[in-house]
Every structure is written in C-alpha cells, then in structure tokens.
Structure 1
C-alpha cells in the first residue's frame, strides 16, 4: 500500500513541476503547491491500490461461487 502512495506522491510532485515549466515560472515558485499535488497524488495512489485489492477479492469470490454452482450441476 505504501508503494501506491509513494508513486502517487511522485506523480503529483511531477505534475506541479511540469505545470510551472509550461507556464515558464521558476521551478519552486509556490512550494506549497508541490506538497498539495503530492498529497493529492498519494491519496489517489492509495485509492487505486484499494480498488485493485477490492476488485481482486470480488473476482476470487465470484470464481468460488461459480465453481460451487458448476460442481452441483455436474453431479448426477
């Protein structure tokens, strides 16, 4: 889970750097923006990891249910 937050924070920080570069501002014109973007990126990274884990658990549950139904149908 920490890796998702770390990757998200790096992505958010990079977005802030890119935004300043496109506007031709000094790299650290407003340093609090970098912190805010990194925080938003970390939050989004955590949500992606949670979504992936939840989806994997739901798929595993669906597979087990399908196997149970198929086992009942196959028995004579």
Structure 2
C-alpha cells in the first residue's frame, strides 16, 4: 500500500470530520472515535480510487 494515498486519505477523513464539527459549532475533537473512523474511511476511499485509476489506465 503506497504511503502517499494513505496519508492523503487520512487527512481527507480527518478534515471532513473537523469541518463537520466546525459547521455545527461544536468542539473540533468532540468524539475522537469519529475522527479515527473518518480517517479509516478516507484511507479506504483514496486507495480504492488509486486502484480504479490504475486499472482503467491499463484497459486503454
């Protein structure tokens, strides 16, 4: 698993959760487990996106 997509996905998940809390005027780290879950989902999403992109490039 490449490091760059993993880091980008983790930052995407963390940023999304912190932005969601900021919009609702809640403390940024209100429920830390939600941040961990968001980071995990972000990692999975970006890594799957990279796999899909590589697969679609090979088909051409």
Same fold (TM over 0.5): yes
Give the number of the structure whose alpha-carbon radius of gyration is greater.
Answer: 1
Does 2:60 align with 1:56? no
1:2 shift after superposition: 2.5
Deviations 1:29-74 (A, max 9, x none): 1001000000000000000000011011111xxxxxxxxxxxxxxx
CA RMSD of aligned residues (A): 0.8
Q: Distance in 2 between matches of 1:3 and 1:11?
A: 12
C-alpha distance in structure 2 between counterparts of 1:2 and 1:49, whole Å: 12
CA distance in 2: counterparts of 1:51 and 1:4, whole angstroms: 13
Q: Spell out structure 1 runs of 4+ moving beyond 3 A.
A: none
Structure showing greater relative contact order (alpha-carbon pairs closer than 8 Å, 6 or more residues apart):
2
Structure 2 residues not aligned, in runs of 5+: none
Number of corresponding residues:
59
Structure with the higher fraction of residues in helix conformation: 1
Q: Say whether the 8 Å CA contact 1:5–1:44 is kept in structure 2.
A: no
TM-score scaled by length of structure 1: 0.73
